[in-house]
Amino acid sequence: MILTVTLNTALDLTYRVPRIDVHGSHQVREVVQRPGGKGLNVARVLAALGHGTVATGFAGGLTGSELRELLARERNITDELVPTSGSTRRTVGVVDESGGGSTQFNEPGPHISPEEWSAFQDTYARLLRDGGVNGDGDGEGVEAVALCGSLPPGVPVGAYAQLTREAHAAGVPVVLDTSGEPLRRGLAARPDLVKPNAVELAGITGTTEPLRAARAAQRRGAHSVAASLGPEGMLLVTPDGMWQAGPPRSLTGNPTGAGDSAVAGLLSGMVEELPWPDRLARAVALSAATVRAPTAGEFDEELHADLLSQVTVEESGETAPG
């Protein structure tokens, strides 16, 4: 069982319009609602890959109730979200069908009280200790933890570092996907893998060259680094070696959630104990296949299978320092 943590969950709304006209009025062709936030997107992709997943974090208010109703319809995902008095945020993605791009609007999220944060910590500790559902000890143990996304107001900036240390104390590996100061603090707890994009990696290391930035992140504590390079694919730097891979062809569509699908690919490869190059190929193929899906947390399964057979993983001759 894989545990995904989404402290700042969201009710994702995706609008599709023929063309975005700034300051203009738009006729929306399609509206799709899904449970969202980076960790929930990861959970939905993992579930589609056949992995049992437990989702925790916060949910509250009318949007939180709606999110949980939608989450209950998902297969292979168990809801362990912690109630909060504030209302879960909404995110709105507007897809321009003429060019395939997406414009995103993200609300900040509810304020989390000290009592709510303490309740979450209790839930997290129970899941790490007992696995399964409701702490009954009858379910599977936790094979890996994904710590994903932004922190809502009120949550300590060092939260991910704390949660990483707790997972490691329980013998559970951690994948961290966040940015800014939470990522900087999280590195000090030595997560097993971090998955920033090139901009996020540059923001915490001060260098825009991806390989140098990935090595700098390792020196700051990350065991391994998977850096998203946008349409160019992904760079993977581990103590065992370095690899880079990109999709075999350019794809247009909605890129929202592509990075979350990459995390799911890396996580699933981790628990299946695949070699690093195979994990990277899966992550790149899933990320590209997500661009062609209608919403984040989904991927075109037929396209994914086709791309996976075509992704070329190139190995560097150097070994990155651990």
Catalytic residues: 260
DSSP letters for 246-292: E-SS---S--TTHHHHHHHHHHHHHHTT--HHHHHHHHHHHHHHHHT
d(CA 121, CA 116): 9
The token duo for 317 is 């001759």
Question: Could you give the 3-state DSSP secondary structure of residue 63?
Answer: helix
DSSP state of 230: G
Strands 234-238 and 241-246: antiparallel
Q: How far is CA 108 from CA 112, 154, 182, in A?
A: 12, 11, 15
Sequence-distant (6+) residues with CB within 8 A of 16 are: 28, 29, 30, 94, 95, 97, 294
Q: What are phi and psi of 59, to 5 degrees?
A: -150, 140
d(CA 234, CA 198): 9
